[in-house]
Chain A
Amino acid sequence: ETGVTQTPRHLVMGMTNKKSLKCEQHLGHNAMYWYKQSAKKPLELMFVYNFKEQTENNSVPSRFSPECPNSSHLFLHLHTLQPEDSALYLCASSQEGIILAGAYNEQFFGPGTRLTVL
């Protein structure tokens, strides 16, 4: 595996279900992100982890619970979601801190999980 991978690619769940999204980065980065992508809206940053520590939580409802056990893995635990939570959930990673020559600290994205909440 290379780059950033996400599983599952598609998920359909009821409002009472509990599920988890998984993200893994194979780039040796030290920061990981969860975004929500909805049609005709900017990407919404949900959570940021730097060196496994959560540094951003952009007013995300508690029905979304992130977990970052190490710098390569990121989870998003879902429970009692609402239909308006249906979206594409993107994971990204980047290398933060010392900027190497020629580096821009851009984010590398996974393919996303298409979530549908019934």
Chain B
Amino acid sequence: AQTVTQSQPEMSVQEAETVTLSCTYDTSESDYYLFWYKQPPSRQMILVIRQEAYKQQNATENRFSVNFQKAAKSFSLKISDSQLGDAAMYFCAYRSDSTGNQFYFGTGTSLTVIP
């Protein structure tokens, strides 16, 4: 089974600064999808950004962008101009393109935004 590793259990960032959350994964497949989900305290988990493995261009959604390094199997999330509302648990997830609809999640990174 694929594994997803988030090596930073906790991160903090000053408001308006930039922070990068790391994610690595292990797979032998060439086609797959990668996601970052955000889970605010006591609130619903929502999708932040997603990337298809065959696309070389890094995905961007407003202040959120990824650095996708396929050869290194790395998928980091960069949050620019951090806001208080960005404080949450962030989960990296992997989905195969060929082996059904099972997702594999990392253990999460808890992000604190310091005013």
Chain A residues in the interface with B (C-beta under 8 A): 3-4, 31, 40-43, 45, 48, 50, 55-56, 90, 94, 96, 104-112
B50 touches A42 (CB 8 A): no
Interface residue total, chain B, C-beta cutoff 8 A: 23
Chain B residues, CB < 8 A from A48: 100-102
**CB < 8 Å neighbour of A41 from B52, B101, B107:** B107
Chain B residues, CB < 8 A from A90: 45
Chain B residues in the interface with A (C-beta under 8 A): 4, 9, 33, 35, 37, 43-47, 50, 52, 91, 95, 100-108
B102 → A minimal CB distance (Å): 6
**CB < 8 Å neighbour of A105 from B33, B37, B44, B105:** B33
B107 touches A40 (CB 8 A): yes
Chain B residues, CB < 8 A from A96: 101
Q: Chain B's interface: helix, strand, loop or mixed, by majority?
A: strand
B105 touches A42 (CB 8 A): yes
Chain B residues, CB < 8 A from A4: 44
Q: Return the 7 tightest CB-CB contacts between A and B, nearest first.
A: A109-B45, A43-B105, A111-B44, A42-B105, A104-B50, A96-B101, A42-B107
Given contacts A109-B44, A109-B45, 4 further A-B contacts (CB under 8 A): A3-B44, A56-B100, A90-B45, A106-B95
**CB < 8 Å neighbour of A107 from B52, B103, B107:** B103
A42 touches B4 (CB 8 A): yes
Chain B residues, CB < 8 A from A55: 100
A106 touches B47 (CB 8 A): yes
Q: For the complex, what is the distance from the CA of A96 to the CA of B102, rounded to whole Å?
A: 11
Chain B residues, CB < 8 A from A41: 107
A31 touches B47 (CB 8 A): no
